[in-house]
Amino acid sequence: MKIGLIQEGEVMPGNTVAQRYDEMIAEVELADRVGFHCWGTSEQHFTPPRFSVAAPEILYAAIARQTKNIKLRIMCSVLLQWNHPILVAERLATLDIVSKGRAELATARSNNLTTLAAFGVDPSQTRTQWEDSMAVLAKIFEKEYIEHDGPVWKIPRVPILPRCIQSPNPPIFVAASSAQSHKNAGEIGIGVISFDNYFGFDYLRECIDAYRSGAAEAAGRSLMPKRTDLLSVLIITAFCAQSKQDAVNKARDISLGYFNFILDLYAPLGKKISYEYLDKKILRLLDHRTDMDFLLTETPSVLVGTPDEFIKRLRLLEELGVEEVVMRIDGMPHEDIMRSIELIGREVIPAFKRTRELI
């Protein structure tokens, strides 16, 4: 089991974006020292104060120079019409160079109707745009010159520089919430980050099975020159403390706040073409808007408690077939975040490192 960290620059009252960025850099430096496998942030627009990172590639470059071992995974680059895949590839290669081969790329097709509207994207077209962008990226990783004539992108023969240090391509992922998207990821040979699993452990198992099924059917084939076979789960709110009550008291507001943000985001999205799978699942959750116990016991999306409780939950996910968890530790005072990262590094990560060594 690998353990990663995701942060999105959530700005607390009385704080500034500039201050939060400085805090995040210090938090990632600590995560690097205590053994976290990867760190990343998402590309978000128009959603303050919960998300403040709109130009993640610049923040990654700053963090690359302050860290040594931690993988820097873009989580996620939205592969829609405002992010040309050539630009995505050039930025990824630049990060790979300045980080000395630690860059990774996760992709997404957006779940935010406000963002889609602001950039003029029809929600029914997001899958087509994502798929065509992935086809362009695959060509870029394979050859120095590319040309492409797809449903979205029309590219004459051009050279692509710089090139990634990791050849032929760094690890590539997609953020997925539907079972079908998990299966598609397995079929084309990319890793999957399973997110927004408020739908429960049974649904997570369904998604895991779909990914494994897709990978088996692919029989080693891959859209990218090199496959990425890794099943990761995003824990949307994580916080570790020495006592369960202290952890819950400090993380209650962020846990429930993020849960309700997701409900408000997905309820209208579930009415749109290609997102219908969300509709009934969201309806089931609406009765639990203020139910912290529900989040702690019935969903894989929230992990709040002591180191022993972290290890127990991660063992359960490991038994389901999860190979990595990425924990969102954000939206709380910097000092609390630092203590949580340190505690996970000192007492949780070593438990899984010992397991890998025994295997």
User: What does the block give as tokens for 234?
Assistant: 């995003």
3-state secondary structure of 148: strand
* Boundaries of domain holding 253: 2-358
Q: Tell me how many degrees the CA angle 323-203-247 measures, rounded to the nearest 5.
A: 65
Q: Parallel, antiparallel, or unpaired for β 172-176 and 191-194?
A: parallel
288-310: per-residue pLDDT in tens?
999 999 999 999 999 999 999 99
Q: How confident is the model at residue 275 (pLDDT cuts 50, 70, 90)?
A: low
CATH number at residue 28: 3.20.20.30
Q: How confident is the model at residue 273 (pLDDT cuts 50, 70, 90)?
A: low
Residue 105: its H or E element: strand 103-108
Q: Which residue has the higher pLDDT, 190 or 287?
A: 190
Q: Which residue has the higher pLDDT, 352 or 197?
A: 352
What single letter denotes the amino acid at residue 151? P
User: What does the block give as tokens for 317?
Assistant: 């996910």
Whole-number percent of the chain with pLDDT over 90: 86
pLDDT of residue 268 exceeding 90, the answer is: no
The Cβ of residue 292 has, within 10 Å, a number of other Cβ atoms equal to: 17
35-63: per-residue pLDDT in tens?
999 999 999 999 899 999 999 989 999 99
Q: How confident is the model at residue 282 (pLDDT cuts 50, 70, 90)?
A: confident
Give yes or no for a contact between 44 and 78, defined as CB atoms under 8 angstroms apart: no
149-200: per-residue pLDDT in tens?
999 999 999 999 999 999 999 999 999 988 999 999 999 999 999 987 799 9
pTM of the model: 0.92
Structural domain total, the chain: 1
193-219: per-residue pLDDT in tens?
998 779 999 999 999 999 999 999 999
Q: Which residue has the higher pLDDT, 182 or 273?
A: 182
226-229: long-range pairs with CB below 8 Å, 24+? 226/141, 226/168, 226/169, 227/189, 227/190, 228/171, 228/172, 228/173, 228/189, 228/190, 228/191, 229/189, 229/191
Distance CA 259, CA 113 (A): 17
pLDDT of residue 34 exceeding 60, the answer is: yes
Cα Rg, the chain, nearest whole Å: 19
pLDDT of residue 274 exceeding 60, the answer is: no
Q: How confident is the model at residue 272 (pLDDT cuts 50, 70, 90)?
A: low
pLDDT of residue 262 exceeding 90, the answer is: no
pLDDT of residue 279 exceeding 70, the answer is: no
How many Cα atoms sit within 13 Å of 178 on the Cβ side?
16
Q: What is the mean pLDDT of the chain?
A: 93
The Cβ of residue 53 has, within 10 Å, a number of other Cβ atoms equal to: 22
Q: How confident is the model at residue 358 (pLDDT cuts 50, 70, 90)?
A: very low
Give yes or no for a contact between 1 and 322, defined as CB atoms under 8 angstroms apart: yes
pLDDT of residue 345 exceeding 90, the answer is: yes
Of the listed ranges 115-129, 146-160, 322-336, the one predicted with least confidence: 115-129
